[in-house]
Structure 1
């Protein structure tokens, strides 16, 4: 816990907020309390490992993932409980699916986390008999996503540009963390839509190239800050 408090201090997150977040993550099954040589600590659960691996693969996806022309289709049983229904919608959006109707969702590829959600329904791969661009535009608001990429890019360029030459590694860590946090929000909006179906000059390409370059450039100093604080535990 002490190491986490030190790591999050440059982001302006106070110790009580860190402790509250950790407690919530334990209750939700993302962390397990463990005994470390230094004292009480926490370990990621298999559920958390799956989420971190999948999210990292999508955040740092680099070049476009090849698409085989088939859609992953989910046909859900009706969920009557409103709170559970909203959680399910949020989870499916994060995993890269979009609704065609209340009970039918599609994604450009299956998510490895799908089984863990225990979704009431059925899913399968399918080929669309029609113009796939029309299907994509029906499920995802491309205009809104494109504007979001442009707005993020302008904001991210200002954020990175605020770093002075030779900035200390805690400051670099804070800026890189904010950069990644802003970029990861696109996991809820753009699951890596097939490039062949996107409009010419898609803003996501320029935004992704900027993120990939800056995240890699800032990584050594940010990682040094993390390593130093973990070693101090």
Structure 2
């Protein structure tokens, strides 16, 4: 039987909530739910009481109705299941969702080491047949999430040879999709110019700078505020990690901001995360979280 929920700590959130965007920050209820599950639930277990999520997302500014709606949406999408225990509900991550969140947590906490690169690119020429607009968009999104750059007309780029087999397997499993893979050097124009065309570097830099500006001088004063601050920073950092294609330094702009952002996150992780986890642990009745 899942553990019962204790009352929230003495610095619990006030009763004012919003149904959409956070009253205290910038996360929607769905974004807040994903981040709370990834940061506080998935590392330790696969499930949590629904009222614990209501309390936790309440601290982030969301009404109980908005939280339940976000849980219901995620349940319909197959990421969560809910089970009734009397008048209470226990929310559990699906096996795939749990694995995805744990993999994402590893990617967020581990700084990638230097990868040797000989200046060659994997070029994926992708052709799809009979794809409707929604399916084509989903395929394109999948490619972008794997860190590939798009040159147009079905031509994608990656400098990461270690990802080639994974990408080919994923594309080959798509019905109606053909892929040809080439290995090539960029001779004209400069590789950095091609990178600027294939990846939206302005958006990536913007995300890093926003993180640095927002959290660089922030100083939360109690555990509830540290819970709010760390949860929002974890979400912002996850966005940066997911959208940064980890391109070789040779083709990036000068003063690429990932290293500065990573150093800030590491510092704030030590300063804020223990208190944030203790705050959430009090909600679920487990003060032993570390």
Gaps of 5+ in 1: none
Structure 1 Cα separation of the partners of residues 137 and 87 of structure 2: 41
Q: Who is 2:186 aligned against?
A: 130
- How many Å apart are 1:56 and its aligned residue? 1.9
CA distance 1:130–1:104, change in 2 (3 Å):
closer
CA distance 1:123–1:51, change in 2 (3 Å):
farther
* 1:87 to 2:142 alignment: no
Give matches, 1:141-152, under 5 Å: 141-152=200-211
Gaps of 5+ in 2: 1-49
3-state SS of the aligned residue for 2:231?
helix
Structure 2 Cα separation of the partners of residues 122 and 230 of structure 1: 49
CA distance 1:27–1:8, change in 2 (3 Å):
same
CA distance 1:202–1:170, change in 2 (3 Å):
same
Q: Who is 2:20 aligned against?
A: none
* 1:231 to 2:231 alignment: no
Indicate conservation of the 8 Å contact 1:93/1:188, yes or no: no
TM-score by length of 2: 0.65
**Alignment RMSD:** 3.3
- How many Å apart are 1:183 and its aligned residue? 2.1
* 1:75 to 2:123 alignment: no
Deviates more, 1:149-158 or 1:107-116: 107-116
Structure 1 Cα separation of the partners of residues 193 and 209 of structure 2: 23
Structure 2 Cα separation of the partners of residues 143 and 221 of structure 1: 34
CA distance 1:117–1:37, change in 2 (3 Å):
farther
CA distance 1:40–1:116, change in 2 (3 Å):
farther
- How many Å apart are 1:36 and its aligned residue? 6.6
CA distance 1:178–1:67, change in 2 (3 Å):
farther
CA distance 1:216–1:98, change in 2 (3 Å):
farther
Q: Deviations over 1:40-98 (max 9, x none)?
A: 32221232123213322332232445255554746241464222323333343233233
Whichever structure has more helix as a proportion of its residues is 1
3-state SS of the aligned residue for 1:43?
strand
Q: Deviations over 1:156-212 (max 9, x none)?
A: 224x23x13xx1x22211111111122222245313223343233212221221122
* 1:97 to 2:151 alignment: no
Indicate conservation of the 8 Å contact 2:125/2:156, yes or no: yes
3-state SS of the aligned residue for 1:105?
strand
Structure 1 Cα separation of the partners of residues 180 and 171 of structure 2: 16
TM-score by length of 1: 0.79
CA distance 1:229–1:212, change in 2 (3 Å):
same
Deviates more, 1:6-15 or 1:205-214: 205-214
Larger Rg: 2
Q: Who is 2:11 aligned against?
A: none
CA distance 1:173–1:126, change in 2 (3 Å):
farther
Q: Who is 1:202 aligned against?
A: 256
Structure 1 Cα separation of the partners of residues 104 and 270 of structure 2: 17
3-state SS of the aligned residue for 1:127?
strand
